[in-house]
Chains A and B, each alone.
Chain A
Amino acid sequence: MPEQMAATTNPSTDLQQLLARVALGDRTAFRRLYDATAPSLFGVALRIVRQRDRAEEVLQDAFVNAWNRAAGYQAALSQPMTWLTAIVRNRALDELRSGARHSAQSLDEGEGAAAIEDTQPGPLGLLEQAADALAIRDCLDSIDGSQRQCLALVYYQGFSHSEVAAHIGSPIGSVKVWLRRGLDKLKRCLESLA
């Protein structure tokens, strides 16, 4: 995990320089930016849309979008990886919510299962690892278990309210309340970083 965090959060200056070159239309810099970030971003997209071909389409659209918008990237406002990840997550969520998604079960059967290795951590595991890396684990652990589970399913897997409800076997009304409360608490945890 530490290697992975280092790969995604630390070389911001390099990525910023690459993005500045991309803004000028430098295609070589764009290729280098792709090589440096595509695997992390593809991992994020694949978790959400769960099929490799769809995740690759998401990645394509996101990079074309980044190419077109690079001139508007403001280094003072966000880290390059934050900027790129936000573009990928937005595109992945649009794709997922567009209705083209087959069913929530694709996680457990067929192509979806093949797309993500069994040995990889589940959504709650990812949330806990992220909290460890950000040193907010104590704060995360203070959030109620059901709320934490809902947060992880939505953030990493892109589950809708009804999918979360079906997955954990709770009424959708409860899921909505847990998510709202969980998000408020998570916001406080993340704000404590600043």
Chain B
Amino acid sequence: MNYDRPELLDRLAAEYVFGTMSARVRSRFQAIQRVLPAARRAVEDWEQRLTPLAHSVPPEEPSAATWKAIERKIGGSASPSSASTWLAWLKPVLGVAFGVVATLGLVRLYPTAIVPLDDIVQERGTLPASYVGLLTDEANKPVVLASSTRHGRIMSIKMLRKVDVPMGKVLQLWALPPDGDPFPLGVVPAEGKSTFRMADTSEKLLSKVSRLAVSIEDAPAGAGARPAAYVLTGNCVKLW
């Protein structure tokens, strides 16, 4: 079956969300959703559409044992402890730290993907000051490595694994400033390497950007465009 056809995915997603699929087909389509972002997005679209219908169902009180069982399954009681508060604080810090370490680790693994290394750089034995982004999928697998020298306008892209893009759609890379709307950087390929020219230098565009994301769009996004759902996200760090 050719799952690249958007109308087929739309039909399957409708039947999945509405509930007409058999157990076997449901489980197969769940597996497809895990590997095909377009399938997951079609399902999310249908969930958005249909879920308001569920709000007319009268509420029913579950037994007190239900919460107890949930508490047991997630481990521990629901009272806030100093440990959980401490962990809550530490979690994002660790997340960012891990992202930076993972990004730098990949920089070592795939140095040529980062920036074209000229002879001088090789002689110096160090990478030039650059912005580097590593985007991962929902399973935390690295998918896109994006890099640009600090004062350059060229963004180099290496796809670390192939992304399934529906026919007629593009993978759009976005910068996510912490205090403003996302803005488009350029289009990345489904696999392999590519480069694109940015609207300004990395330093101007990315100095305050700590997160990047990729969405699937009908066409390359222009200035002021709003992103569709993100299928890949990751940290953007300064390599100097």
Interface residues of A (CB under 8 A from B): 1, 4-5, 7-9, 24-28, 30-31, 34, 38-40, 42-44, 46-48, 52, 55-56, 59-60, 63-64, 67, 72, 74, 77-78, 81-82, 85-86, 89, 93-94, 97-99, 120-121, 126-127, 129-130, 133-134, 151, 154-156, 158, 160-161, 179, 183, 187, 190-191
Known A-B contacts A26-B88, A30-B78; the reply to A86 vs B47 at CB < 8 A is yes
- Least Cβ–Cβ distance between B100 and chain A, in angstroms: 18
Contact B54 A89 (CB under 8 A): yes
Pick 27 A–B contacts, CB within 8 A, sort by A: A4-B56, A5-B56, A25-B84, A39-B60, A43-B57, A43-B58, A46-B60, A48-B19, A56-B62, A56-B65, A64-B70, A67-B74, A72-B138, A74-B229, A78-B47, A86-B17, A97-B26, A99-B23, A121-B58, A127-B53, A151-B18, A155-B19, A155-B53, A156-B54, A160-B20, A187-B49, A190-B52
The answer to the question of B203 belonging to the interface, with a C-beta cut-off of 8 Å to chain A, is no
The answer to the question of B8 belonging to the interface, with a C-beta cut-off of 8 Å to chain A, is no
Contact A25 B20 (CB under 8 A): no
Known A-B contacts A25-B91, A30-B78, A64-B70; the reply to A44 vs B19 at CB < 8 A is no
**Which residues of chain B are within 8 angstroms of A133 by Cβ–Cβ distance?**
52, 55-56
- Least Cβ–Cβ distance between B40 and chain A, in angstroms: 11
Besides A43-B58, A156-B54, 15 more A-B contacts (Cβ < 8 Å) are A4-B58, A8-B55, A24-B91, A27-B76, A40-B59, A42-B59, A52-B63, A60-B66, A72-B138, A130-B54, A151-B18, A160-B20, A160-B22, A190-B50, A191-B49
The docked-state distance in angstroms from the alpha carbon of A30 to that of B60 is 19
- Least Cβ–Cβ distance between A136 and chain B, in angstroms: 10
The answer to the question of B120 belonging to the interface, with a C-beta cut-off of 8 Å to chain A, is no
**Which residues of chain B are within 8 angstroms of A25 by Cβ–Cβ distance?**
84, 87-88, 91
Give the number of chain B interface residues (Cβ < 8 Å).
47
**Which residues of chain B are within 8 angstroms of A67 by Cβ–Cβ distance?**
70, 74
**Which residues of chain A are within 8 angstroms of B87 by Cβ–Cβ distance?**
25
**Which residues of chain A are within 8 angstroms of B70 by Cβ–Cβ distance?**
34, 59-60, 63-64, 67
**Which residues of chain B are within 8 angstroms of A134 by Cβ–Cβ distance?**
52-53
**Which residues of chain B are within 8 angstroms of A126 by Cβ–Cβ distance?**
53, 56-57
The docked-state distance in angstroms from the alpha carbon of A81 to that of B66 is 19
**Which residues of chain B are within 8 angstroms of A154 by Cβ–Cβ distance?**
18-20
Known A-B contacts A42-B62, A64-B70, A86-B47; the reply to A27 vs B14 at CB < 8 A is no
The docked-state distance in angstroms from the alpha carbon of A47 to that of B17 is 16
